[in-house]
Structure 1
Amino acid sequence: MSVSQIKAAAIKPFTHLTLAALAVLILAAIFQTVPGYMDAEYYDAGGLQLVHGQGFNEPFLWNYLDQPAGIPHPSHTYWMPLASILAYLGMKITGAGTFLAARWPFLLLAALIPWLTYRLANILGAKPASARLAGWLAVFPGFYLIFTTLTETFVLYMLGGTLFFILLSLNDERWRNRFFWIRYGLLGLLAGWMHVSRADGALWLGLAGLVWLVETIQEARARGLNWRRAGVGVILLGMGYLLLMGAWFTRNLSLSGTLFSPGGSRTLWLTSYDQTYTFQAGALTFQNWLAAGWGAALKARWNALVLNLKNLLAVQGSVFLLPFILIGAWKKRQCTIVRWGALGWLLTLLVMTVVFPFSGGRGGFLHSGAAFQPLGWACAAIGLETAIDAGAARFGWQRGTAWRVFSGGAVALAALLTAGVFWMRVAQPGMDGPLWNASDRAYRQAGEQLNALGIADSELCMVNNPPGFFLATGRSSIVIPDGEEEELLAAARRYGAKILILDSNNPALDDLYRHATANSNFQFLSAIGSMNIYRISP
């Protein structure tokens, strides 16, 4: 092939896959005019605070894990800041403090994922047609389409994980001898990218460290240990990581005297998911966790494992792709990328099942697993190619015809699954519009009702979702804590909350919700939709 032909062969998949992905993402974004749930709302709100010059501070409390002093509260003491920083950049560049402005950088990054998946499949040795199939599977990402259009960490993790694996493939003599310092520095930088995106991104620093260790041992066996070279490698790895995480560690030290927020460490000792919102965060200790019994601990981890394996089947494997992912991974089991990818995925599963079973089973593994998804799509394409080759050898299939039928069917199934899930979770119409916007609509109506009741913006509210409430109304709030009325009143008095907005999603407060006027601690003011509004008695 001539140079011009090689360039054309490289540019064509990039153009086709990127434009197709952008079209799918924009179509999905039309139905998602608001972030839709707390995580995405939190990152959007964080970007908005930066735009308004409030820095890393938030006008609400969505948990009490770090036993906050009050409002404003230092932001991102539980979740990491990169998604909010990217949302801020989107708003700053466009000059608009809107969700549309916040999300466009995420859409552009998400549009690159199919082409990067195509390149990853190429690196794994897939045939050109198989590599293109991998890219098209990423264009129609199943469940992940719901999240890749939002101010969230899914795209950041997909991008970081894919680049990490591509970088691992640069392991020939030229990179080992001439550019090894660039490679280790970039591995550290990507580990920092993952960690500044999500708290569990610290695993990627461990994975990068293991890469350095294994490669150092391999080189020592082949040529003898070069202490200077090994030392420079690990230093550059650490420097790349600290280039992104160093400032955040400094901030944590100034806030709490520790590298990591104390609130996040308390989630180690949860005995139920709802304890994430407990007002008595000081009670989340190893002793209390132990007092709950080993039976409860084992049951929680078993439940998390079941949920995470369901996630593997339905989300990461899109049901029909999982067998081909496994076939492709086995076919390429000697490949460095596949080995490290399998190890990273297993470590993530272990952490999200054993260490953090409640947050892991309730979405943590869904988030963290996104980093391995492009590798999964690449393996799926190779697995289908392998299965067709086996069918041709055993049953006499015509490879070309079989490939066109099965690869076209795989893309069609992926598109149908993506559209079906998106319709059910997002675009399906509710009583007043798309289902996705229901929470935002309810809070906007509540805000209008508060204005009609003459309740000043300065009066602190208690709600289930403070970030969403802030975006919808501009009002400050604290989260309704886990527990019964006593816990609610304790939190209200501690932080000076005056207004309670209660819906049916608080089982422990069901009696208050159903008998709105029968409690002397709460003055019933109004009902709006499925929510009751109360004034909290002094």
Structure 2
Amino acid sequence: MSLRNRKLFYGGFFLVALLLVTVGGGMQKAPGYMDAEYYYAMSVRLAEGKGMTQPFLWNYLDDPPSLIAPSHTFWMPLTSLVAVPGFWVFRSFTGARLIFWLLFALVPPLTVWFGYRFHGDWELAVTGGALALFPVFYGVYLPVTDSFALYMLLGMAFFVMTGWPAGKIEMQAAGLGVVTGLMYMTRPDGLLWLVIALCWLGWKVWNESEQRGKSLLAVGVLCILGFLFVGSFWFARNLMVFHRLLPPGSGRALWLTRYEDLFLYPAQDLTFARWLSGGWGRIGSGIWQAVVTNFQTAVAVQGSIALFPFIGVGMATCWKRSVVKVGLLLWAGIFLMFSLVFPYQGVNGSFFHAGAGVQPFLWVMATVGIQKTVMVVSGWRHWQRGHQVQVFLEVLLVLVCVFLTAGLFLQKIHGGKTGIPWGGGTEAYSQIEMALERLGISPCEPVMVNNPPGYYLATGRAAVVIPFGDETTVRAVSERYGVKYLILDQNNSGHLPDLYFHPGISRGFKFLMRFGDARIYEILP
């Protein structure tokens, strides 16, 4: 196929992807979940000139001294920064998402380009692009203010740079440093990509360079300088605000004994000794649960259910290619990070998010695996029309991804098993805010809720998260941050059962009203 026709294909994939993400985004009137709400809320504050501060606390890991606290101490800032120009121009949620829509629209054509560059088969490359158009479980999250499309593009850039032409290792090192810096500014696990980049560069220099020691030092320095070129402003900000390179709560996330510990108060209780006191049985159980759940995610999400076996075949077929070894090492590294080191975060979405970086590579591997599978089976069965079988299988698998993507998207939009439609939490918080106004509660009074970023975004009211603990813990948070009102819903009913199931019997809490499944209390002095 001529270059002109290939360019038309690239343009066609871009337009189809943009159409799909626009239609999907048009059905989502709100971010829909805490991560996207946080990124969007912070982009709004940045666009309004309020800087990197947040008028809510959604965890207590960094032990914030007041309710108005530095932002992005847990989630990284690049996703919020990407949303700023769109919101600044259009002053709307749709405006903030426009760049994310454009970023996703680049993913399918670049997957085609990456696949063609990898294996040289245009038909397989087009199949890979079609799979990228319908990313199954990722589909519903791509139109909102989250990091998925950004991480996919940066991951693809990483894989392209690992295949940089021979003799260009200095440029390769600097480029990988910049890309991994951008990945780190998007997600903390970007540091893993930096480590893999350094290992890959070191291995390449060791096998190809005559002056190994000098070359190892040179590429290592160039890669780290590229990383710091992107990340230096972030480290400088942390030094100015916290007097340290990383936010103070960063290390505490290592010592969770359950996911709810993210909301533990005081966070100083999250220590190695407390983690160890739970016993090796509990530690092993958490890790095993993460291994099982993350493997299911690898099969269903990153393998799009039907593609997983073909990804394995594709990797085995191209194993001698260094980029495949790097890809498998990254995929395994992400899996192990969120199974062994951060098991509770991994089970609750971090592995799902982090896997987006390797997703374009997996789509390319799947197409190679499809071709190899048909070739082998054709040889066994003596098929005379092996290519027609391959085309049929490619079309069938793309159609499976189409229907899975559409079905899962609509299920999420309409509420699925929960019965709560997309954005239903935002609407519920808006109605609760009107109930607070009817009770005569000033808009200046902060509240304690399950989802502070979502509540702030829906109402503009400052908020803190309900801590994981008992009524005494709730009162301690109330006293420290000056919060007089508690909005308790079914998400927190497990560890505060009396307040939720028996309103009015707890001393120190004045029951004000029920609103749907929420109970509203005044916390007495």
The aligned runs of 1:367-516 (5 Å cut-off) are: 367-397=353-383, 398-428=385-415, 435-506=421-492, 507-516=494-503
Q: 2:184 aligns with which of 189, 195, 212?
A: 195
The ranges of structure 1 where at least 4 consecutive aligned residues each deviate by more than 3 angstroms after the TM superposition are: 226-232, 427-431
Confirm or deny: 8 A CA contact 1:219 1:225 kept in the other structure.
no
Native 8 Å contact 2:127 2:394 kept in 1? yes
- Contact conserved, 1:154 with 1:370, CA < 8 A, in 2? yes
Shift of 1:331: 0.6
Separation in structure 2 between the aligned mates of residue 504 and residue 482 of structure 1, nearest angstrom: 14
SS in structure 2 at match of 1:148: coil
Match of 2:241 among 255, 258, 274: 255
Equivalents in 1 of 2:308, 2:346: separation in Å?
21
1:17-36 equivalences under 5 Å are: 17-36=13-32
Q: Which residue of 2 aligns with 1:311?
A: 297
Match of 2:517 in 1: 530
* Contact kept in structure 2, 1:36 and 1:437, CA below 8 Å: yes
User: CA offset at residue 228 of structure 1?
Assistant: 4.7
In the alignment, is the contact (CA less than 8 A) between 1:31 and 1:427 conserved in 2?
no
Query: How much does 1:70 deviate?
Result: 0.6
Matches within 5 A, 1:71-470: 71-92=67-88, 94-96=89-91, 98-172=92-166, 176=167, 179-220=168-209, 224-225=210-211, 227-397=213-383, 398-428=385-415, 435-470=421-456
Give me the TM-score of the superposition, normalised by structure 1: 0.94
Cα distance between partner residues in 1 of 2:430 and 2:67? 22
Give the drift of 1:146: 1.4
1:7-40 alpha-carbon deviations (Å, 9 max, x no partner): 3133022112111111211121122111101011
SS for the counterpart of 2:334 is helix
Shift of 1:429: 8.2
1:8 alignment partner in structure 2: 4
What SS does the corresponding residue of 1:526 show, helix, strand or coil? Answer: strand
Aligned AA for 2:87?
Answer: M
SS in 1 for 2:483: coil
Judge conservation of contact 2:56–2:69 (CA < 8 Å) in 1.
yes
After alignment, is 77-86 or 250-259 more displaced?
A: 250-259
CA–CA distance in structure 1, aligned partners of residues 101 and 420 of structure 2: 21
C-alpha contact 2:498 2:505 (8 A) present in aligned 1: no
Give unpaired runs (5+ residues) of structure 2: none
Rounded Cα–Cα distance in structure 1 between residues aligned with 2:76 and 2:482? 28
Contact 2:206–2:216, Cα closer than 8 Å, also in 1: no
Alpha carbons 1:270, 1:276 under 8 Å: kept? yes
Shift of residue 400, structure 1, vs aligned partner: 3.3
Aligned with 1:345: secondary structure? helix
Q: Distance in 2 between the 1:70 and 1:462 partners? A: 14
Distance in 1 separating the partners of 2:335 and 2:387: 38
Q: What CA distance in whole angstroms lies between the structure 1 residues aligned with 2:413 and 2:323?
A: 35
Q: For the residues of structure 2 that align with 1:244 and 1:260, how far apart are their CA atoms?
A: 15
Q: CA deviation at 1:140?
A: 0.4
**TM-score, structure 2 length as denominator?**
0.97
Q: Indicate conservation of the 8 Å contact 1:500/1:535, yes or no.
A: yes
Paired residue total? 523
Q: Describe the superposition over 1:400-459 as per-residue Cα deviations: whole angstroms up to 9, x where unpaired.
A: 32123111111110100101111112245899x971111111111111111222211111
Q: Distance in 2 between matches of 1:147 and 1:267?
A: 25
Q: Aligned AA for 2:189?
A: D
Partners in 2 of 1:453 and 1:295 — Cα distance? 49
Structure 1 residue matching 2:397: 3-state secondary structure? helix
Any stretches of 5+ residues in structure 1 without a counterpart? none
- Distance in 1 (alpha carbons) for counterparts of 2:24 and 2:4: 30
471-480 or 18-27, which deviates more: 18-27
- Measured after TM superposition, the shift of residue 229 of structure 1 is 4.3
Counterpart of 1:18, as a letter, is F
Equivalent pair of 1:463/1:478 in contact (CA under 8 Å):
yes
Maintained 8 Å contact 1:504/1:510? no
Identity %: 37
For the residues of structure 2 that align with 1:147 and 1:235, how far apart are their CA atoms?
37
Contact 1:124 1:335 in 2 (8 A): no
Are the structure 2 counterparts of residues 429 and 77 from structure 1 closer, same or farther at C-alpha, using a change threshold of 3 Å?
A: closer
Change (3 A) 1:225 1:273: same
Match of 2:514, SS state, is: strand
Q: CA deviation at 1:123?
A: 2.4
1:391 Cα deviation (Å)? 2.6
CA RMSD in angstroms, aligned pairs only: 1.6
Deviation digits for residues 462-501 of structure 1, max 9, x if unmatched? 0000000000000000000001111111101110001111
After superposition, give the CA deviation of every residue in 1:331-354 in whole Å (9 maximum; x if it has no partner): 111111111000111111111111
Amino acid at match of 2:393: F
Distance in 1 separating the partners of 2:41 and 2:519: 25
Q: Deviations over 1:94-143 (max 9, x none)?
A: 241x2111111111001111112112211221521111000000000000
Task: Report the Cα offset of residue 508 of structure 1.
Answer: 1.0
